[in-house]
A and B are shown apart, each in its own frame.
Chain A
Amino acid sequence: MNSGPVMRLLAIACCIAGLAACAYNKGTVVLLPDKEGRQTSVVVNQRDEEVVLDQPYAASRQTIFGQEKYTSSPQEVEAVFGKALGAQPGLPARYTLYFVEGKNEFTDESKLVVDNVLREIARRPEVDVVVIGHADAVGSNEDNDKLSRERAEVVGTALIGLGVPAKNIVTIGRGKREPIVPTPDGVAEPRNRRVEIIVR
């Protein structure tokens, strides 16, 4: 972009001359399509030049003279990054269990989900499991932090009882910070009284 044709020729001549230090391409960044269709972007800064990548396959190539924005392709990504992408671990699997109001007790439907969780745990190599408790907006922050942590611990203990090694489980209580259904403070909402299980 900021390199004139003369400079560019010079760079090419330089590389033909076999000077390793003159490698024209310093690096590439490609934004990939988000598998879940979420908003996605990466901002690439080279020296003082900024390029925003916010479309699938939008790409930046950093050269010795600056940055070039271009559109990459699945073919180029496969050629350059196929091996790195091939080593990507599977996306974490997520499950949600719901609780009876104010108690550490699953709803009946949620008991069935546990079977699926155990199957997924058995399927993954070197599995680790994160159990995250959530509360609805009834009660103080402090009470909900405690309740959500206790809910996570109930699930964690149940998983240990079902044969998942304790060292592979982490339990966390996020209180009322992450409702599925946003409500005003003080509103009871069964869908927010839940425990997420992330199997990764």
Chain B
Amino acid sequence: MATLLPAALALSAEVGRIKVSTGEVSVERNGQSLPGAVGTRLEAADILKTGADGTVGMTMSDDSLISMGPNTILSLDRYDFDPVTNDGRFDAQLKKGSLAVITGRIAKKTPEAMSVRTPSAILGVRGTQFVVSANE
């Protein structure tokens, strides 16, 4: 079991990483607001926000690609992923704005394991590429 340790540690809290960031982008974590620059490591329960000129794109650890247009709030409500078995659960909440998604290993392994919630709807995601908007 000892050999499992380094890989498990390397995976620890990181669930994804910001790869694209333009304009005003922030990440809310434990009540604090951090700048959402390229390279920022994301954790479960993070809330991402873009301003009127902001866009952001991230890769998740299961290879999902998530990107947000301007004036958007997205909460990573739940993210669990076991890279050995590909089992996991990914629930995101689009509070407002626009979102583009390409699903990854979680949805491929278990088609019921990914959902996106908006103020008006719940999406059961079987794959693979879609866009969602939520108006205030």
Contact = CB atoms under 8 A, between A and B. Distances in A.
Interface of A: 23, 25-35, 38-46, 53, 60, 62, 67, 77, 80-92, 125-126, 128, 130, 132, 145-146, 149, 170-175, 177, 198, 200
B121 A92 contact: no
Residues of A contacting B: mostly: mixed
A80 B132 CA distance: 10
Contact of A84 (B7, B61, B131): B131
A146 B84 CA distance: 12
A87 B20 contact: yes
B7 A170 contact: yes
Contacts of B120: 26-27, 46, 62
B84 A67 contact: no
B17 A126 contact: yes
A7 B17 CA distance: 46
B127 A85 contact: no
Given A30-B131, A42-B124, A126-B17, A87 B59 contact: no
A89 B21 CA distance: 10
Contact of A91 (B17, B65, B83, B121): B65
B27 interface: no
